Structures are given as structure tokens and as C-alpha cells.
Structure 1
Amino acid sequence: MTILSEFPRSPASGPAVGRPGHRRVRRVRALTGAVLAAALVTAAPVGPSGPLPVAGAQIHREHPLVAGPADGWRNPSIRENDATSGVEVRLTAPVGAVELGSRQLVGVTVVNHSEEVVDELSLRIQRAAGVPDTAAARVALTDDQSAYGYTGPFTDVPGPLRPGEQVTVSLPVDTDPTSAGGLDIAAPGVYPVMVNLNGRPGTGIVSYLTSERFLLSVTGPETGRPHTPAPEGDRVEVPGVTMLWPLTARTGLVAGETGEAPLRAPLLLEDDDLAEQLEEGGRLDQLLDAYVDATSGEAGTALRDATCLALDPQLIEVVDRMRDGYTVTTERPSPVAGTPRLRDSWRADSDSPRPEQAGSGTVAAANWLERLRTVAEQGCTVALPWAGADINAVTRTGNQWLIREALTRGTSVVAEVLGTEPERNLVIPLSGYVTGSTTDWLPLADTTTETGVDDPESAWEALQREGLPTVRRPTDTAALEDPTMPDPYPREPLPTPANGVRVLVTDNSVWDAPVRGRFAGLGPGVTGVTYQGSLAATLAATGPEPLTVGYSNPETRHDPNLDSGPARLTTGITAIRLAVDAARTTAPSGEGAPGTEEGQSVTPPEPVIIVPPVAPASPSDSAALLGTVADLLSSGRARPLSLHEATTPDPDTRTVLDRSVPPGTGDTGSRRFGAPFPDPSVPSDREILAAAQQSNYMNDLTQLMVNDPGIALTRYEFMRPLMLDLLRGLTVIGRRNAEGYAAATERADHLFTLNREMLEKLQSSVALLPPGYVYTRVSQSSPLLIVARNGLPLPVDGRISYQGPPGSVVHVPEQLWIPAKGSIMTQMTADLPTRPDQVTLVLRLSGSQGSVVSDPVEITVQTQGPLIGLLGRLLIGLLVITLIVRLIRTRIVRRLRGTGD
């Protein structure tokens, strides 16, 4: 709902905000936003991005509020003139808090991107009414310029500006309420500010050209004074603050990796970009330096207690492997390729060599990781989903092992590599919300079980011993070719996690869930911990790649690049201060306060959980956000709160919420929460289908192999890297940006393609080899011989399944044990019909539960006919004649011996 603010008109201002015309504009904007949202919800098209592995795939969407990837990035009714202007105005640096009654100069640069000369340029500062919270601030920043009715004087800009030229000027921000040229600010607060640019383009007339917008913080005479002073005699309760500090980066790992043992597989990276970020002065180096500097010493203790390193476990694992050396290449050798013959190696010398080089970041990786270990030992760490995977997209595959890897693998990696205990049982969906089907899977995130089975491989082997349930129905089609979209819900409700699972979600994504304070009941043993979606959406727009998040209201979705980086950073810093001040509670003091004891607060303030964007963040912008939290703590406007304390409900709250939610599975009607608005950044159904096909086939192939005590490598370790590749393909990082979504889906397509090619190589390495000719049987009892080959590094325990014409019965061996990197010959007997003369049998190699693993092979058998009958009779006749001759010969020999005696 649009927030309308009425405030008096300044004598020197432009049009009054409260006038009927302005209200009509707001109504039109609200209607436009509502129509846009309704259209997106109704259409929900499937995006063109991502691979469609097979034709005729069944496409569907689980939730009607999930939009197609091409929709919903922009509300065209917001700042239309700014979006089409060929002239840009931008701040030269972020604007800090301004003390009430002071005057501050702000640097502004005007750039002419148009193809015509712009003349008679002038700038002025305008402001709108103060805003009480971040939700109102986001709406105000998208308002029509008429809402910014309090204005300062115009400042002429030197001109004219020719195409491509720019000029920088200084503008006064006057907060003195007695000044004739001021902004008429009478009290401390947070005010939306617009830098208005007027000019004459070409041969036109002087008119409004564009604007730059940001939130301005105006403080009281005392440094850091809250913008809403408490009544005299009352006591202010300051909120606790906790902030995530994300460390993520694209690793460039070459897709298609398989596990090795006892040594780790050689690390292959597509490029050396990660090394540049780790080296001194690189992005990751600066991010870590900023955190170390801010949390060092006694002054940094409070900030260290109020922050938690949110780590991408894939990044940590790759950096750890970089220390041992790595290769930069674009190709990955096949793990099932045979040993080349000498003549093949001679021929290979004439081929174009694979371009590769030794990586240069070995030392930088070791140094950076050692510094990170030191920091992690002194404070809080928490693992993000692997490679920033979209948890909702992962659960849509319906593959519990892929889900387990996304939810739990990171915790073990952080613990092993950094030697510290990370926060457990806390899921941080980077989309900001979870769906009903996702919640049904979240009990798998419990890594503090009493049985100690806290990693996917242990869970796999435990269930295997009990008879592992397959993730899909066995069919005559290999999982790689299955066109059916998976059911995103578990087949049966998962056990309630004994220690509870918490999930960080925005406050507007639990719209129909039972709520108690900041906690929401999402499922049995699954508690949602809410944070301010309006604050998170505002922070998401900071940095060099501003984001459009799926939980933001479409009415406020405009191109964030209309405002410069310094302006967006100013808004983000001010939004943090505004959120903290708005969270304060005022406690009546003294006797007679209704419902309270002396000095006791009525309602303790809810903590402010700050979730910066998990994106290629700018080190300087991130440091500024971190410094803002440090200032709030040092000034006493907030108190430090650990992430564990902020996200852990008390036993009573957890009990009440658990009793309020119905159990799963698949009950979307009674458990309504998730994306509050259409999310344009979700992976497409094509990508979900590709991940489902490949992960299901990985499970079938893993189940086909058998662990061997004499081989250090286990079957799950061999397949795990391929599972992690799928999580990289379903990452959130890079998708939540209108300009970057297409490139992100292209990277996912490339990754899925390479992963599938590797799976096809593994598939072809385990095969039944047909004889290559018509198999002619002398009689019905003649055996059929076939060779089974295994190129995998572990033995295979398979079954032979067959298809043939009616009446065909093939007696196959109950078990087919094929040694690692070896082959065996097996025989079968068959009862086949005598008509037709030739029978074609289709044989497949399957797992013990019937899942097809190998490609089908055909054997043509000559069963009966004139030639076969004649040959059979001739053979029998020859056998009879041979027996008769041998009998006669034996008698003659005996008679001659008798005569000789």
C-alpha cells in the first residue's frame, strides 16, 4: 500500500504535496504497480534461459507468485523522465549525517550522455517530508518530483555541455530552519532528498531533465542524538544489532570434476580472477582487511560481538585447495579414459595442445586463508548455502542428496578448513524467503543430531544399509533422459529436527504464518527468523552491481542505476540508522506507569538483523556499512547482539510455534508463505529440470558402485563434486540484476552442459558390449555370451534387465559384479520363440533397485529356420555316424587282439 504524507507547504517551495493533483498521481502510481504485479502473477511465463535437456518436458510452477525470469525487474511508472534522460547527475562522494542548523556543501557532477548540446543548466536541492521507517523511505524515494516540495535555491552550472562532456559543482545543503534559502527542516530526522537538474536540451526550452535521490540523516545538536527524542522522564530501550559480513566470490572452477583419493583431485580453474582478488589490494583482500581493522582492539570488541562472517563454503574450499597449486585451463580430462597407446600418443603430439598454465595465486591463497582463520577463531562464522545456491530452486529438484549438500556441506567445510565451530542449524536463503516445499526439506539442515550422522555421505551409507529409497520411480529410461518435472515435496514427512532448524527470512515473506515477535512457525521444528525486508532491499541496491530482490514491492522497483553509487551508499547508510532508531522502544519510568513496574520497559525492542547483499560487493561500500554499525554501537544508539542470540527462540516460543503449524508434505493450502511478490530472479524450469535429471542420475550411478576396502576412494566422494556443480548452476549470485540475469543463466547453461557431458562419459564407461553380429544358436539351450565393462574407479554391482518379443524369457545372472576399471564375460540362457527366425533382445545394465544406468544394447539371435533345422539334422546325423564308426572300430580292434593271442 502506498503511504501518503501530508505536510505544510514551504513558502519558497514548489507544488504542495497535499494538493489533489498530487494525490491523483499517487493513485495512478499505486494502480499501475498493482496492475503490474497482477499481470506478473497471472502470466508467470517460463523464461527462455537455461538448457532444456529433452524435448517434451513437462513444465510447471509450484507457486503462483513466482514470475518468469524475464519479468518484474522495473516498474515503468517510476521516474519515467529520469529513465529516458540523456543527462545524468550524480554525487561525487557519499553524504554523511548533517547536524540540524548547519550548512554543508555537496559535490555533484553533471554528465551529458546525449547526442546534443545541453545549455542553461541549473541545480537545486529539494526534500520531501521526513520518513519514520525504511518502508516509508523506499516509497518516498520513488515519488514524483512534486512530492519534494521543500526546495533550496538554484545554482547555475557552467555550460553549455557538449555530448560526452561533464562538469562538477558544489551545492549547499542548508538545514538551518531560520535560513531563507534552507530546506525548512525544523527537527532531526531522516529526509528523502532530490538533486533536481534543469536545462535546455538542443533547441528546446528550459525544463526538468533528471534527478539524483538519496536519504539524508539530520542529527540533533548532540552528536548521534536519535531523531525522535523520548519524552522527559521516560527511558529509551536501545535495540540489539547483529550484522552479517558476507565473503563470496566466483571461483571459476572447471565443471565436471569427480572425486579422487587418497589425494585430492587436481584443482582446475577457468581463469586466475580469484587469485587477483586474493592478492594484496584485491577485492577479497580489502574486504577481509576492512573487517579486521574495524573489529580490532578494544574499540572493535562490540562490533566483533555484533557481526558474523557469512562465508561461501565453496570459496573457502577452493582457496584451501589453491594453496597446493592449481592449473588454469578450460578443459577437464575424463576420469574414465583408458591409458593411451603409444601410437596414439605420437598422433596426439600433432594435435593442438590444450591451453593451460600454472596458477599464480598459491601464496596469496595461503596468506588470505591464514588471516581468515585468525579472524574466525575470535568471532562468529556461519556457512551460506553452497556457492550461493537458491534453496528454493534446489528443493524443486526433489533430490534429497542435492538438498543435503546445499544445506549441510558448508558447515563441515568451514569447520574443517578454518578450525572453528560455525553457527549450526541456521539456513540463510539468499532469495530472502522460503516456500512451503522448501520448508518440508529443511529438517535435513539439522547437523547437531545425537546419532552423529550429520553429513550427506554418512546419511547415504546409513540408508543404503537399510535399503536406500530411490529418489524417483525406476523406469525404462535413464534419469538423464527423464522429461518429467519432479515433485518438489518429500515423499514422506521428514523427522522433526530434535534441535530445531532456524531460517533467516524477510518479515514480509511470512504473510500467513503464525508469528511471535520476530519468529515465525514455518514447519515442525523449523522456525523462521525475520529481518526487515525494506532495509535489506535498500542495502541490496548498494555496490557496483545493484540488485532487485524478489521480496521488494513492485511499486518501488525502479532502475537502481538512476542514482549514482555514492547516492545509493548514502541511502544505505542512512537506512541502517533509521532502522535502528525506529526499533527503539520507550519505557515509562516512575510510579504509576500502567502495566509496568518502575524502570521496566513495556515491550523490549526487537533486534535489528542487518543482511547486506551477497554479491560482488565493493570493499569501500562494505566498509562504510560496517563503520555505520560501529558508530551506532559506540554512540549507545544500539547494543551488540550475537547472531546466535538474535536467531534463537526461547523454548516457550518454539513450542507455541511448533504447535501452530500443520505437518507436511505437499500441503500448500494450509501453509502459506514465501515470495510476497513476483520474483524475476528465479531459475527457470529448464534449469530445474536439468539439475533434477543430472542429480537423479548421479544417485543411480552412486548406488550402482560398491565401496571397496582396498580402495581409498568411496562412491559418494567420487560423485560429490558433480553434485556441487549443480548447486553452482542454481546460484542466486549474479541473477538478481536485470543487466546480469542473462549472463548468469548462460553461465549456468554452460555449467550444466559440461556436467552432463561428464555424466555421459561415466555412463558410457559402464556398459554391456554387444557381440556386433547375429548370434546364431545351435539349439535352444545354447548360452548367450556378453561382455560387461566398467571404467569407474570402484566395482559395480549391477543387474541385467531385458526386453524382447512376447514369449521371450532370458535367464540372467542374479548379480553382475564388475571389477573397478575392468570387464567380465557373462553368459545367459534364453527361451525364445521360434518365430520369427531372428529375435532382437534389448539389454540394459541397472542398479539393484531397477534404475537404468547404461545405454541399451541390442542382440540379434538366430533362433530357428530351414537352415538352422538342416544344420541341426546334419549335425545329429554326423554324431550318429561317428558313434557307429567308433563302435565298429572298437569291435574290430578287440577281435584282432583276440586272434593274435
Structure 2
Amino acid sequence: MLRLVAVAGILTVSGVAPHAAAGEPGATPFVQVRIDQVTPQVATTTSEPVVTVKGTVTNIGDRPVREVMVRLEHAAAVTASIGLRTNLDGDTDQYEAAEDFVTVAPELKRGQKIGFSLSAPMRSAAKHSLDISAPGVYPMLVNVNGTPDYGAPARLDNARFLLPVVGVPPDPQGVAGDALAVVAPDTSKPVPVTMLWPLADKPRLAPGVPGGTIPVRLTDDELATSLAGGGRLDVLLSAAEFTTNRDVDPDGAIGRALCLAIDPDLLVTVNAMMAGYVVSDSPSGPAQLPGTPTHPGTGQAAALNWLNRLRALAHRMCVAPLPYAQADLDAVQRIGDVGLTATATGGAADIVDQILGVAAVRGATLIPDGSLTQRAVDLLSANNSTVVIAAADSSTGDSNTPTPPTADTTPRRLSPQVVLAPFDPAVGAAFGATGSDPVAPPYLNAALAIRLQHDSEIARRQDALGSMLWRALQPKALPRNQILLPPTSWKLSSDDAGAILTTLATAIRSGLAVPRPLPALIADASAVPPVNGTKQPDIEAAGARGRFTDAVIAKISAEVGRLSGLSVALTTDIRTGLTGVNYTAPLREDTLRAISQANGPDTRNGLAQQRLQVVGDAINDLFGAVTIVKPAGSYTLATEHSPLPLALHNGLAVPIRVRLSIDAPPGMTVTDLGEMELPPGYLPLRVPIEVNFTQRVAIDVALHTPAGVPLGEPVRLSVHSNAYGKVLFAITMSAGAVLFALAGRRLWHRFRGQPDPADLDRPDPSDADDYVNDEQRA
């Protein structure tokens, strides 16, 4: 029997209300109906045989609405996984009424709301019911009709949800042994189930900050709230802790089916927060620059507590890494950098091992938020063998197709190294819609999209529970295995998380499912033989949802190339132990954060450009930090061998190997100092030179790495030389030789008592005296 309980106001209840006009709600909204509670969430053989739905009708229009009526309707059990989404939106032809409409308010004024409670038996031999006679997943609908002011009676809104029925309880009015007795589920073909429980977050580390910067800087302090009690990450961790507790899971069956899927970038961030951190006051600005305003972060204690709890949990259950910073592997392949590929894939597990102190599961690549493309397959094929867990292809070639085919979740080999173990995109989308911030994953076909914000959190939770159980309740559904991988961004309440893991436990305890640990999944998938011609699609369209643009890829390629050219010249600071690789690693990781799939598909490219702008500026600063100190005046060289004094400055935190390049003018020879290791700080130099001229000249001096990468800005020196050079030296030596020869000749003649021929043209001394006397007499 259909019952209605008034929650607010005095209601007029009509035993048989008139039918409202058929048709879907119009474009102008007048009222909104929301589901507030569904009992039972999952029907079993021991649950109440009556389904109760409580909700609220609110006037959101611009006029009063009269004769507001509600009715509970039902549809046949979902027979294909696409029905888990298509039954939640669009036309209502598949729904039938459980009873006539019941008036909940004679008039609902603008902004006014009214509560209602509808109940109907799951089945009945004598009365109207929901006609649920066998286990399955049943679509439900609450229909709202009314008459807007100045309008005619019409269907104004509806709210839909899925009711999973694991077992049908008996009809309380039935007779034992008749058709209305208990109907148990078919457990002859239990589904091996593996559920990945994501612990991930958006990138929070401030871009453009090289390694060794203390304290670490974050773009915002939202992670502190998320890690604290009641926060998003705390809720997810608490749910996993509770579900795998020995008191709740004494035989460890649920724990074997679960595996934590962890983003290494989240671990790096939380681990750094434990030492204290600051938060940038301008997250979109260059947070790495000295003097950028910051304030102390508030999550140090929460980070310590959360990470310690995670370490304890990781020691008793499976842990698997996500790609670093949830990087888009298709974009990584387009960038084409080997080091970046290693960081995004193979290096992710090493980080998990190091921070959590466990051995993470190898051999699986998890893609919870995007599509697997052929480029991603090519990238993974070039590395070790792996099983990719990603959404099955739900594309139809035509986004307007109303009923796309059911996604094929059969594992298949894509290359000698790569096997795809797909999950049902309809189930993944149901997970993504749960919580307070519902999302539609980019891999979901448009034909399966629904209005996420239209339904309440309770209704979306029901959809997720029904989607989880659908395959286990369909003995003929193939393949007989299931992977549950929610999007990493889901924001669950504790009730949501508890209900989802309780439903997993219900499937296992009831015999509908058996746990399949992730290592067993990897082993089974790895045994799949190759199939010729199996290809994944490439997302080429520039406007494809969630695809990173060519401009973003080109920018990353350029910045990674520049950074690599600098990194090979850096060495280790023996004082601090900081290596050149560790010093530049955060900037390389920034480029992976720029292509993170944790950001929404519609905002990814804009956020990527912002982060890359900061990273590019930071790399410019690194190159500019190694310079030649420009002198205030000019240099004067006293001799042709006077050294040229220079001073180099290294503003980096690690030493760097450099070479000097001096553009000397003709007549100047410069001794090459070769490769030098320039420590942090200032280093005075005296460059040996040889000058063969006397004049003022300009000398250009530049600094570069041993590979020829320019550092800093070239410096032009003004040099004045007092040296005369080789020509003057030759003249002086020649003149000295002539003088020496003449003096020797004179001495030779004197020694022999001979007059020097050079004196023959001189007058006799006595003649000279007579001439002087004559002049005096005159």
C-alpha cells in the first residue's frame, strides 16, 4: 500500500488523485524534487519488504504552484550496463506507477518547500507494488506534478535512483512456499572482484621551486583540511581502515579484494608538510621568487597523523601506485622525454616504497580518470610489461546515438608488453557522481551522461551501489570478473564511503562475489594471448574533452629540454649532500603536474599554461643565477703578461661545471682554463693572457656549460694595455745589438792602437785649438 506522511504543514491527501498531463518537464523549472533517504539502501532477503523514499519538493520558480502531487514509479531490472546510466535521465516511458498520485500540498509558494515520505511493497499478490520478484538492479522514480500559476497541470520534475536488490524478502501477507516466498540470489557464478580505493589529490606543491628549498611551499592550504578529521582524504582512509579491521573483516576477504591506489605526488607533498610548510598568498604567481608573500600552513600535525595511519594500513593490505601526479600518459608520450616517462611510470612505485616502507604492487598501470590511447600503449610498450586498468571503450562513433553498445570488459592484449584489463565505464561514472562534488569522467560517452547536479547525493549514492552489484546480480553477464576503479577526485561523505565498502562486503558475504587480489588480476591478465589488429584510439581532435593542446605539449618539451641541458652540468654539494638531479627534480615533476588528470577536463589546459609559465620563469632564473660579475670600471694591464682578473657567481644551491669563452681581439692570446667546478657563491679567477699591443679594447666574456649551454649574460670588459708587443721588442733588441757591435769595434781599434774609421772625418785637436784662439783675437 502506498503511504504518504506529511513532514511539514497540513496536507490534503486524496485517496485517488487525478492523473496529471503526460510529458517531460518543460524548459522553465517550477519545482525541484530531491531524494533525502531510501530504505533499504540494498534490499536483501532479511530486509523490510517495503521500500520507503523520503524527499523534499521545493518551489524554485517565479510563481506559486498548486496541487503539488508525487508518485513513486518503477522500471524493469537493468539488463545491460548502459541502463545503469540511461535509466537515470531522458524519457520516462520505461517507468510504471506503483500507485496514483498523492497531493502533498494544495499550494506551494515561491521558495517554499515541503517534505514527503512514500512507501510501497516490493511485491504483492493482491495490491499495487514495485513488482520486484527477483534479485537485480531496479530503476526508481519519484514523479512530481502540479499546476503553475497561469498554467495547466503538468509534470514538473522527477528524481531517479537505482535500488539494488540482492535478495527479495517474503511478502508478509504471503503463504510459506508460494510464489511470494523468499527469493535468494543465484550464487552459482560468483564474480571475482577487485576494487581499487584511490587516495589522491590535485597537485598542491607550488610550481617553480627547486629542490632543497626549506620550508616547502604549497599553492593553498586545502590539503590541511582534507587530511584533518572529517576531511576528504581522512574519510577515505578511515573507511578503508574500518573495513579491513579484523573485527569487521575477520577472514580478510574484503581486504583481499581491496587495494589502495595512491598518487606518489600526494605522498611527496604530505611527507614534506610534516616538516612544516608555508602557503603562497598568490597561488597563480611565481611562488618561488624571494619576497613572495607566504603564510605558515596549518596542516603539519594532520599530515603527520594521516601519513602514519596510512603507513600502518599499507602494511596489512595491497598498495599500488598511480602515475606520478596522475599524469596523462598520452601527453607524456607526445612530449617524448625518456626521463619524464620514467618518473611518471616506473619511478612512481619506488616513491611509494620509500615513503610508506612497503613493497608496492608492480605490473599494473592505473588510469582512473582518462582514456587509454594508442600513444599511451606505445609509451608503456617501450618499458616493462604491464597490465593497464582503464575504462573500456564506450564510444559509438556518434555521440548522439541513444543506446550505445555495452562496453566490453574482457581483458585483451594490445602489444607484446601491454594487456588491457578494462572496467565498465558506466560503473566508473556512477562512482564519479557520488559525493558532494560529482564529476563525469572524460572517458564516458556522451550518450551515457546525465544531469549530475539534478539528483541529490543520496540518489547518486544509490546509483553507485546499484552499479557495483549489477554484474554480480546478472549470472549471464560476461565476463565473470569485475574491476571497480573510481575517479581519483571523488569527494565522499563518511556515509558514502561506508555504504560503498559495505556493499562490497555484502557482495562477498552473500556469495555473489569472491575477492580477487590485484596480483592475481595481473597474473590472469598477463596470460591473455595476443590478438592481431587490436588497437586503441588516438585522441587527435583539438577540441576533444580533456586532451592537452599542442601548445602545452610544445611548452613542456622545450622546458624539459632546457632543464636537461642544465642538469647534466650540476654536481653534488658536499656540504649538504644535495645532488644536481634532486635539485632540479621538482621542476621536472612540475611539468607532470601540469598535465595532471586530477584537474577537470575543461580547466586542464588553462591550469597547465599557468603552471608552465611559472616553471619557465624559474628555469630562466636558474640559468641567470650563474654569471660573470661585471666590473664597475675598466682594467689596465701593466705588462703584456698581466693576468685578466674575473669573478664568477653561482647563485644555485649546488656546484655547476662551467667553461669560460673569451672573445679576444687580434694580438691577444688567452689561456683556456678548461672545465671548472663553480661552487655556490663567488669565485675569483685570474685568466693568463699575453698582449702584443698598446691600446684600449673591448673583450666579450661568456659562461656556458661543458656541453655549450649558455649561462647568465655575456659581459663586455674594457681593457687598456701598456704593453708594446713583439714589434717593439724586436726593434729594441736590434738597436741594442747595433750599439753593442759599435762599442766593440771601437774597443778593438783602441786595443790595437789604430784610429777608429768613424773618427777620420773629425778635425785634429790642435787645429781645433788654433781655430778657437784665432776667433778670440778677432
| TM-score between the two structures when normalised by the length of structure 1 | 0.67
RMSD of aligned residue pairs (Cα, Å): 4.7
Q: Take 2:286 and 2:460, find their aligned partners in 1: how far apart are those partners?
A: 46
Q: 1:309 to 1:877 in 2, by over 3 A?
A: closer
Matching residue of 2:755: none
SS at match of 2:107: coil
Distance in 1 (alpha carbons) for counterparts of 2:736 and 2:649: 46
* Conserved? CA contact 1:373–1:419, under 8 Å: yes
In structure 2, the CA distance between the partners of 1:363 and 1:220, relative to structure 1 (3 Å rule), is closer
Find the partner of 2:711 among 844, 847, 854.
854
The answer as to 2:483 corresponding to 1:639 is: no
The alignment status of 1:402 with 2:359, answered yes or no, reads: no
Shift of residue 618 of structure 1? 1.2
More relative contact order, 1 or 2 (CA 8 Å, 6+ apart): 1
Offset at 1:355? 4.4
Deviation at 1:541, TM superposition (A): 1.6
The structural deviation recorded for 1:859 is 5.0
- The answer for the alignment partner of 1:723 in structure 2 is 588
Q: Distance in 2 between matches of 1:322 and 1:129?
A: 52
Pair 1:172 & 2:119 matched: yes
Alignment of 1:33-48 (within 5 A): none
**Aligned-residue offset at 1:652:** 4.6
Q: What is the 5 A alignment of 1:570-589?
A: 570-582=462-474, 584=475
Q: Would the aligned equivalents of 2:68 and 2:104 in 1 still touch at CA under 8 Å?
A: yes
- Within 1, Cα distance between the matches of 2:440 and 2:408? 29
User: Using the alignment, how far apart are the partners of 1:524 and 1:134 within structure 2?
Assistant: 30
Q: Distance in 1 between matches of 2:60 and 2:741?
A: 113
Q: Match of 1:316?
A: 267
| Greater shift in the superposed pair: 430-439 or 782-791 | 782-791
Q: Compute the displacement of 1:718 (Å).
A: 0.7
SS at match of 1:293: helix
Shift of 1:325: 2.6
Query: Do residues 240 (structure 1) and 192 (structure 2) align?
Result: yes
**1:287 and 2:236 correspond:** yes
Residue 213 in 1 paired to residue 160 in 2?
yes
The separation in 2 between residues aligned to 1:364 and 1:335, in whole angstroms, is: 25
**Does structure 1 conserve the Cα–Cα contact (< 8 Å) formed by 2:329 and 2:379?**
no
Q: Does 1:258 align with 2:150?
A: no
SS in 1 for 2:108: coil
CA, structure 1 residues 520+160, in 2 after alignment: closer, same or farther (shift >3 Å)?
same
Cα deviation code 1:725-745 (max 9, x no counterpart): 222222212314xxxx44x65
Alignment-mate amino acid for residue 627 of structure 1: T
In 2, Cα distance between equivalents of 1:810 and 1:164: 86
Q: Please report how far the alpha carbon of residue 376 of structure 1 lies from its aligned counterpart in structure 2 after TM superposition.
A: 1.0
Q: 2:216 — aligned with what?
A: 267
2:423 aligned with 1:563, yes or no?
no
What amino acid maps onto 2:380 in structure 1? L
Pairing partner for 2:440 from 540, 548, 566: 548
1:104 corresponds, among 43, 47, 51, to 51
Q: d(CA) in 1 for partners of 2:54 and 2:65? A: 20
Shift of 1:378: 0.8
Distance 1:826 1:82, change over 3 A: farther
Once the two structures are superposed, the pairs formed by residues 767-806 of structure 1 within 5 Å of their partners are 767-768=627-628, 788-798=648-658
Letter in 1 for 2:379: W
Q: Which residue in the other structure is 1:31 paired with?
A: none
Query: Could you say what secondary structure the match of 1:581 adopts?
Result: coil
Task: Supply the distance in 2 between the matched residues of 1:122 and 1:268 (Cα, whole angstroms).
Answer: 55
Instruction: Give me the whole-angstrom Cα distance separating, in 2, the residues matched to 1:122 and 1:404.
Output: 60
Render the CA deviation track for 1:213-263: whole Å, top value 9, x for unaligned.
11223454359x998966xxxx81211111111122346322222223xxx
Closer/same/farther in 2, CA of residues 13 and 120 from structure 1, 3 Å limit = closer
Partner of 1:752 in structure 2? 612
Q: In structure 2, do the counterparts of structure 1 residues 789 and 830 end up closer, same or farther at CA, with 3 Å as the change threshold?
A: farther
CA deviation profile, 1:698-742 (whole Å, cap 9, x unmatched): 211101223466661111111111222222222212314xxxx44
- Alignment equivalent of 1:356, drawn from 295, 309, 318: 295
* C-alpha distance in 2 between matches for 1:370 and 1:721: 24
1:417 aligned onto 2:355: yes
- The 1-side partners of 2:387 and 2:371 are apart by 12
Deviation digits for residues 519-545 of structure 1, max 9, x if unmatched? Answer: 222233222222222211222221212
Where in structure 2 are the equivalents of 1:107-122 lying within 5 Å? 107-122=54-69
2:390–2:422 CA contact under 8 A, matched in 1: yes
Query: Which residue of structure 2 lines up, in the alignment, with residue 429 of structure 1?
Result: 367
Q: How does 1:684-763 map to 2 (within 5 A)?
A: 684-707=549-572, 712-736=577-601, 741-742=602-603, 747-763=607-623
Q: Which residue of 2 aligns with 1:648?
A: 523
C-alpha spacing 1:828/1:703, structure 2 compared with 1 (3 Å): farther
Number of equivalenced pairs: 697
Partner of 2:276: 325
Question: Comparing 690-699 with 822-831, which one deviates more in the overlay?
Answer: 822-831
SS in 1 for 2:210: coil
**For 1:226 and 1:698, how far apart are their aligned partners in 2?**
68
Q: What's the CA shift for 1:334? A: 9.3
> Does the 8 Å contact 1:308/1:380 carry over to 2?
yes
Q: Does 1:163 align with 2:110?
A: yes
3-state secondary structure, aligned to 1:274: helix
Aligned equivalent of 2:380, options 438, 442, 452: 442
Structure 1 contact 432–504 (Cα < 8 Å) conserved: no
Unaligned runs of 5+ in 1: 1-11, 17-21, 23-78, 338-351, 444-493, 587-602, 662-669, 832-836
Q: CA deviation at 1:853?
A: 4.3
Identity over aligned residues, as a percent? 27
**Residues in 1 aligned to 2:445 and 2:78: alpha-carbon distance in whole angstroms:** 18
2:80 equivalent to 1:129: no
Change beyond 3 A, Cα 1:826–1:159: farther
| SS of residue matched to 1:241 | strand
1:193 is matched with which residue?
140
CA offset at residue 290 of structure 1? 1.8
Distance 1:675 1:186, change over 3 A: farther
Instruction: Tell me the CA shift for residue 187 of structure 1.
Output: 4.0
- Distance in 1 of aligned mates of 2:288 and 2:241: 42
Change in CA separation of 1:330 and 1:874 when aligned onto 2, cut-off 3 Å: same
2: CA distance, partners of 1:645 / 1:243 = 13
What corresponds to 2:33 in structure 1?
Answer: 89
After superposition, the C-alpha distances for 1:547-606 in whole angstroms (9 at most, x for unaligned) are: 122221212223311211111111110111112223x469xxxxxxxxxxxxxxxx9x53
Equivalent residue in structure 1 for 2:227, among 278, 282, 293: 278
The residue number in structure 1 matching 2:488 is 614
Distance 1:878 1:220 in 2: 111
CA contact (8 A) 1:794 1:819 kept: yes
Return closer, same or farther for 1:302/1:511 CA change in 2, 3 Å cut-off: farther
Q: 2:504 aligns with which of 617, 629, 641?
A: 629
**Does the 8 A contact of 1:155 with 1:171 survive in 2?**
no
Match of 2:537, SS state, is coil
CA distance in 1 between partners of 2:719 and 2:182 (Å): 93
The runs of 5 or more residues in structure 2 that have no matched partner are 1-17, 171-180, 398-406, 751-778
Residue 534 (structure 1) aligns with: 426
